[in-house]
């Protein structure tokens, strides 16, 4: 099975919530009826995450308005579903990715198929510094930073998507796409984001640890961070 990520841009005439509704009520049911498509996840920037506007970072504007995740038998069969997607978006691009899930949202905040997942999902497009060796980058990210991120933040779901292949030409430049689930309070509270319980010294400690760790392997001039609402349409 392969995972394909589709960043999506809304038609100009639609507001963010209208785009969300079109994807949930129009696109999702059409995709669910297609052969060879096993799991569907949708993340979309809508009014429910408006409070997280201060966490948004755009280095490649305009950043996507949504991201569709599909688990398929074979990414080469995209002609089965991409024309369906095209009917709902102004623009899309596509990546084949290798997914790892160091922190699974299984018990803490479960949701039923089609329901909005608790809190917000940070969708992050990132790349290493140009001078960094790929294997070194993967070692720092996967073998060191992962634990630091989990220990210093209030995440309850964490998916790492390593870009294996760009499946379209007009893509957001990145080497990896991260999906992180946070509680709703983390949208506009650093204490909630960094799981400090209101302890100011712990906040400074956790923030410093994250900044120091991220600076080892992320090119901050290339990163895009987009708070979104998440919907697991069809689970594994």
Per residue in 130-144, pLDDT tens? 999 999 999 999 999
| Residues 156, 105 contacting (CB under 8 angstroms) | yes
Query: Rounded to whole angstroms, how far apart are CA atoms 97 and 108?
Result: 26
pLDDT of residue 110: 84
Closest to 155 measured CA to CA, from 129, 125, 117, 126: 117
β-pair type (120-126, 91-92):
unpaired
Sign (positive/negative) of CA torsion 211, 221, 182, 95? negative
Confidence bin at 206 (pLDDT 50/70/90): very high
pLDDT of residue 50: 98
Residue 113 scores a pLDDT above 90:
no
Ranges of beta strands (E only) in the chain are: 2-9, 37-44, 66-72, 91-92, 95-103, 120-126, 157-166, 176-182, 224-234
Percent share of the chain, pLDDT over 90: 92
The CATH code of the domain that includes 169 is: 3.30.70.100
Beta bridge partners of 225: 57, 124
Query: Rounded to whole angstroms, how far apart are CA atoms 235 and 88?
Result: 22
| Residues 79, 167 contacting (CB under 8 angstroms) | no
Query: Rounded to whole angstroms, how far apart are CA atoms 192 and 184?
Result: 9
Residue 236 scores a pLDDT above 80:
no
Domain that holds residue 119: 2-234
Closest to 66 measured CA to CA, from 104, 115, 121, 117: 121
Closest to 206 measured CA to CA, from 155, 156, 152, 154: 152
Mean pLDDT of 21-48: 96
Total number of domains in the chain = 1
């Amino acid at each position: 099975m392969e995972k394909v990520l589709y960043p999506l841009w809304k038609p100009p005439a639609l507001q963010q919530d209208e785009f969300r509704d079109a994807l949930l009520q129009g696109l999702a049911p059409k995709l669910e009826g297609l052969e060879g498509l096993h799991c569907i996840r949708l993340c979309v920037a809508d009014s429910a995450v408006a409070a997280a506007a201060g966490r948004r970072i755009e280095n490649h504007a305009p950043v996507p308005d949504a991201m569709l995740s599909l688990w398929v038998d074979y990414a080469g069969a995209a002609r089965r579903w991409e024309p369906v997607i095209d009917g709902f978006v102004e623009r899309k691009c596509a990546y084949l990715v290798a997914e790892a899930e160091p922190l699974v949202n299984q018990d803490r905040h479960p949701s039923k198929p089609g329901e909005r997942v608790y809190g917000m999902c940070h969708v992050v497009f990132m790349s290493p510094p140009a001078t960094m060796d790929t294997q070194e980058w993967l070692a720092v990210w996967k073998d060191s930073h992962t634990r630091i991120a989990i220990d210093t933040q209030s995440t309850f779901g964490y998916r790492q998507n390593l870009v294996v292949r760009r499946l379209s030409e007009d893509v957001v430049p990145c080497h990896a796409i991260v999906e992180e689930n946070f509680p709703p309070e983390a949208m506009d509270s650093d204490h909630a984001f960094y799981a400090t319980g209101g302890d100011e010294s712990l906040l400074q400690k956790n923030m410093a640890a994250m900044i120091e760790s991220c600076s080892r392997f992320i090119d901050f001039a290339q990163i895009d961070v987009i708070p979104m609402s998440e919907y697991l349409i069809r689970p594994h």
